[in-house]
Amino acid sequence: MKSLINTLIEWFSFYPFKVAGRSMEPAISENTWVAVFRSGFRKRNPRRFDVVRLEDPRNSSRWILKRIVGLPGDEVALVAGELFINGNQVADPYAYYPDPQTDQFEWWPRDDEYVVLGDNRIHSTDSRKFGPVKRSSIRGRVQG
């Protein structure tokens, strides 16, 4: 019975969200609708590669979708398009680079911070511009 109640709570916490922009392509295309679950992290913490809806750190009245790549306590690096976690290269099946990359970024998210990136790295403003995001700015789990 408890499982049914939890499922109903999550279902009723769902709302549709229309995607603006190309930062999550090809996984989530511009102008498509996705389901956002407000209680998506009630029973568990966000995980690597979850897609989340969050407040834009540059404008709190704007909402954006990004993929979590770095968790609290990780050492995260993006080197020439390759993702490294704690010094180990990690397969990032969602990353889309139409051209070779030469950029290098490093982050050390604290206990309540996450590194987020758009899948379409050329068309995404993400932690490469605004750094790790606070857990409190993550407002839902996205199902495409």
Domain residue ranges of the chain, discontinuous segments joined by +? 2-143
Model confidence, pTM: 0.88
Locate 30 and state its tokens. 């511009």
Listed residue (8, 24, 20, 6) closest to 123, CA to CA: 24
Q: What percent of the chain has pLDDT over 70?
A: 90
Q: What's residue 40's pLDDT? A: 66
- Over residues 51-93, the pLDDT tens digits come to 999 999 998 888 999 999 999 999 999 999 999 999 999 999 9
Per-residue pLDDT at 7 exceeds 60: no
What is the token pair recorded at 26? 């090809």
| pLDDT tens per residue across span 95-112 | 998 787 888 999 999 999
- Asked whether residue 44 carries a pLDDT value surpassing 90, the answer given is no
Distance of CA 129 to the CA centre of its chain: 14
Average pLDDT score, the chain = 89
Q: What is the pLDDT of residue 61?
A: 86
CATH number belonging to domain 2-143: 2.10.109.10
Q: How, if at all, do strands 138-143 and 51-56 pair?
A: antiparallel
